[in-house]
Amino acid sequence: MFDTTKEDLKDILRKVNEGKLQLPDFQRDYVWGDEDVRSLIASIAKGFPVGALLTLETGGEVEFKPRVLEGVEVRDVRPTELLLDGQQRMTSLFQAAFAKAPVRTRNVHKKLVERLYYIDIKKAAASKGSLEDAIIGVPADRIVRTNFGKTIDLDVSTRDREFELDLFPLNQVFDSRDWFYDWRDFWRAKGRDITELDRDFVRTIVDSIERYKMPIIRLDRNNKREAICVVFEKVNVGGKKLDAFELVTAIYAAEKFDLREDWNGHKKASKSWPPFPHDRRTEPARCAHPDSQYRLSAGLHALAYARPATPKGSRRCKGR
């Protein structure tokens, strides 16, 4: 039915990059913000638990349409596993620590932004508690500007600027040897001894990320649809919870019926639908289509667009 294990974070991210670990297509899009990403990075760097992943082996009776995680470039690869729970965490870690492109996230004002993440080496090596203050997000051009772009507060647009400010690019963490060699050479030429700082940062931060193991609950391919949907609902308790519609979408996705696509089709067609009865309590909307899935989608559509019934005691109920 299932087993539990732990895998190196690097190996999981490699499977994401190769398309071996994908999402079921019914999953929502990536929605985490910049603060969520920085908090996750800080927890991983400290070796703190961030929750288990839930995966499903492909090739069994239940087949979901797959799609790669956001930021993955590979296409037309058949996955060996689907990620049922953990999309926000794995997308954040893949984009921030493994991929070279900026993370597409949102700032505190919910505005879509692109961010590359750095770790302040001196702050991180000296930190005894949270690392969030040592995690820095910068725009895609690696220049932080204020005053409507007139003032440059931080510039790490070149490798030498990274060395000068002792800022380590997180997307080098799984292949960091050359960066650290060049950082040491940069400061050796200027007469600064960074041996102790180098050792402390690598030992406490880089090694922690490289050796981090993520717990995984893996459902085997022999599980039935009902069991998979129940487990999926039960584990959906943290992070960005799915709403009822998304859970129902997940259930019907196992029957190769895309409820979300069908729903959107009804929304587009709703302008030509006849008006609903005024009193839904006595004359509910009906759908004569024999397909139960169609009836479900139409029923959800009716609920979404229905005007609430007027409560007793209101002016309308009194005939005014």
pTM for the model stands at 0.75
| Dist. CA 4–CA 74, nearest whole Å | 28
| Dist. CA 71–CA 106, nearest whole Å | 15
Mean of the pLDDT values across residues 92-105? Answer: 94
The 10 Å Cβ neighbour count of residue 315 is 8
For 104-141, what is the HEC assignment?
A: EEECCCCCEEEEEEEEEHHHHHHCCCCCHHHEEEECCC
| Dist. CA 179–CA 222, nearest whole Å | 46
| Dist. CA 294–CA 257, nearest whole Å | 10
Instruction: Give the pLDDT confidence score for residue 314 in this predicted structure.
Output: 43
Half-sphere exposure of 320 (CA within 13 A, CB side): 6
**Stronger pLDDT, 318 or 48, i.e. the higher one:** 48
| Dist. CA 209–CA 200, nearest whole Å | 14
Of the ranges 57-66, 148-157, 227-236, 245-254, the best mean pLDDT one: 148-157
Predicted confidence (pLDDT) per residue in 172-218, tens digit? 999 999 999 999 999 999 999 999 999 999 999 999 999 999 999 99
Instruction: Give the pLDDT confidence score for residue 304 in this predicted structure.
Output: 46
- What is the residue-averaged pLDDT of the chain? 81
Instruction: Give the pLDDT confidence score for residue 317 in this predicted structure.
Output: 39
Domain spans in the chain, listed from the N-terminal domain onward? 2-215, 257-305
